[in-house]
Amino acid sequence: MPADLPLDTVLDVLACPVCGAVLSRTHRTLTCPHGHAFDLARQGYVTLVSGAGSRFDGDDADMIAARERFLGTGWFAPLADALADEVVRTTPAGDAGTVVEVGAGTGYYLAHVLDRLDARGGGVPASRGVGLDASRYAARRIARVHERVGALVADGWSRLPLREGAATHMLSVFAPRNAAEADRVLTDEGVMVVLAPTPRHQRELIEPLGLVHVDAHKDERLDAAVAGRFVRDTQRSVEYAAALSRSDVAALVGMGPSTRHRTRDELAAAIDALPDPLDVTASVTLSTFRRA
């Protein structure tokens, strides 16, 4: 018998990307009853896409490494806590919780959410999660972030390789959100949880470093995108300022593609010109959506 892998805890949630059937694992391969087969990567994740090659790009190796470094500073810990609060609050007592995160990055938020679900105690079965990302560098991190998180490379904008009604929550944290697929994949009582930046997010850095502005109409666009399938159930803002060193700022900037207007040297010079440390604002909207 093959040893248990984190992926095994969510096998019943996964669907063949070609035909939608259940998947089972034999050694390092997942197969469906129709003979479609998907090999596990050495690092423990599996790529579940249909057709030849992928048409989507996730974050590259440097961006994911910068994300891991920056999240390690704890600067976003209040966001992980606020997100976990929402998931715990919307998980019925006695339910384990099966949480999918689309665009999960390093799996930082998903692992924190599962830890908080399990901290409820009271004999509730262990929660589990699926971390899905277009980037294989992300999937490598996700595969080792938690013993009950399965890691997938998949496209968050396409049909997700997940079964109908399999998840209690679908999270999107600074990442793509796919309301049509949330509708298909969530249980009847399932909840979509979306964390998105406001225009005040990292405002102290936008001008000096030439970062991309957040669209002020993001909230309305989000409502429009889910309209007909989901209604916004709750919405709260989380905003705080906390000090960042110049090297923290460099990691933060390295996480994103927002630097395409400047060369590496120009950006380094702009970071060098910042006060060290500098108080920087985190400002997000945290919304929950339920079926309309």
Residues of this chain that interact with Zn ion (CB under 5 A) are 16, 18-19, 21, 32, 34, 36
Choose, by CB under 6 A, the member of 103, 129, 150, 190 that binds ligand SAM.
103
Four-point Cα dihedral 52, 184, 128, 135, nearest 10: 30
Question: Strands 98-102 and 167-173, how do they pair?
Answer: parallel
Taking the complex as a whole, how short is the minimal distance between the CB of residue 275 and ligand SAM, in angstroms? 26
Interaction partner, residue 285 (Zn ion, ligand SAM, none; CB < 5-8 Å by kind): none
**Binding range to ligand SAM, per CB under 6 A, among 11-19, 81-89, 90-98, 174-182:** 174-182
Site string for ligand SAM, 210-249 (x = CB under 6 A): ----------------------------------------
Residue with tokens 């009582």: 189
* Three-state DSSP class for residue 5: coil
Smallest CA-to-CA distance from 196 within 91, 292, 282, 77 is with 282
29-31, strands of its sheet edge to edge:
24-26, 29-31, 37-39
Q: Does 131 bind ligand SAM (CB under 6 A)?
A: no
Interacting residues with ligand SAM between 43 and 102 (CB under 6 A): 56, 58-59, 67, 102
Which residues, in sequence order, are bridge partners of residue 286?
A: 195, 236
Give yes or no for a contact between 248 and 73, defined as CB atoms under 8 angstroms apart. yes
Q: Does 157 bind ligand SAM (CB under 6 A)?
A: yes
Interaction partner, residue 156 (Zn ion, ligand SAM, none; CB < 5-8 Å by kind): ligand SAM
